[in-house]
Structure 1
């Protein structure tokens, strides 16, 4: 197994996948702080899950969802200017983990910062989590930020 030492690599671009959750908001806040310190650009990515199955969307539903995700990205880009950071946004359709990894590879992302929400063990076992898949498959460092409201029981 080849080990790559990323500790000396400069962070010039950070990818923050978002679904509008509190955990994604916490991840964005962390990414903005890092980007401000490192003089990096933040890419905010929203992925519409097109996995199909019993929860598949109709064409009209997908259109409405795409519009709402685009508005979410616009809102993130107009955020409070606490940090002096350039932010760019994108919306993709596909399987979230795969789209996140592909976007990172295509755009030369140096680090991925994403939120992890607390889900039950049964849901994790059945579908896995996007964060877990990204951590396992990404070729760049991944920082996982837990939702502040998640507590261990």
Structure 2
């Protein structure tokens, strides 16, 4: 984990990456609740991942994926509307974990709230996970929200 200089600073700007999953929605709910408590802003980010196998993507498919991510962010913003919290949204292209960390720096986020998939610890150790990579590389604190549908004790 990268040391943080922000430990004593108040949380005002919270980044929440989303892929539309239940665990991402749980992370969003946690971020909105935190933002409401501190009169903060929530920034929702969806990432178009074209880095895993660039040969299988053509420009039309990337545009379709980007359109779907934009629609996802709009839906999330609409769902949060009326909760007395300022919310903004963005879509970026790139490797998910590094794009999340870079965007956190770009918006000067004080905190990242990310959902953890239901992967076992063994799978995460072998394959890595976006949440794990964000935790290890972010320069701000990260809250990892577990999947509400999985048994946290299962491996």
TM normalised by structure 2 equals 0.89
- Aligned-residue CA RMSD in angstroms? 2.1
1:83 maps to: 83
SS in 1 for 2:101: helix
Taking a change above 3 Å as real, the CA distance of residues 91 and 4 of structure 1, as seen in their structure-2 partners, is closer
Taking a change above 3 Å as real, the CA distance of residues 105 and 22 of structure 1, as seen in their structure-2 partners, is same
Separation (CA, whole Å) in 1 of partners of 2:43 and 2:11: 13
Contact 1:33 / 1:83 at 8 angstroms: preserved in 2? Answer: no
TM normalised by structure 1 equals 0.90
Taking a change above 3 Å as real, the CA distance of residues 3 and 126 of structure 1, as seen in their structure-2 partners, is closer
**What is the Cα deviation at residue 9 of structure 1?**
1.2
1:129 is aligned to 2:104:
no
Separation (CA, whole Å) in 2 of partners of 1:13 and 1:121: 30
Separation (CA, whole Å) in 1 of partners of 2:73 and 2:81: 15
1:39 maps to: 39
Structure 1 unaligned regions, length at least 5: none
Residues 8-63 of structure 1: CA deviation (Å, up to 9, x unaligned): 31111000000111000000000000000000000000001111428832222211
Instruction: Out of 52-61 and 99-108, give the one that drifted further.
Output: 52-61
| Count of residues in Structure 1 that have an aligned counterpart in Structure 2 | 152
1:23 maps to: 23
1:9 is aligned to 2:9:
yes
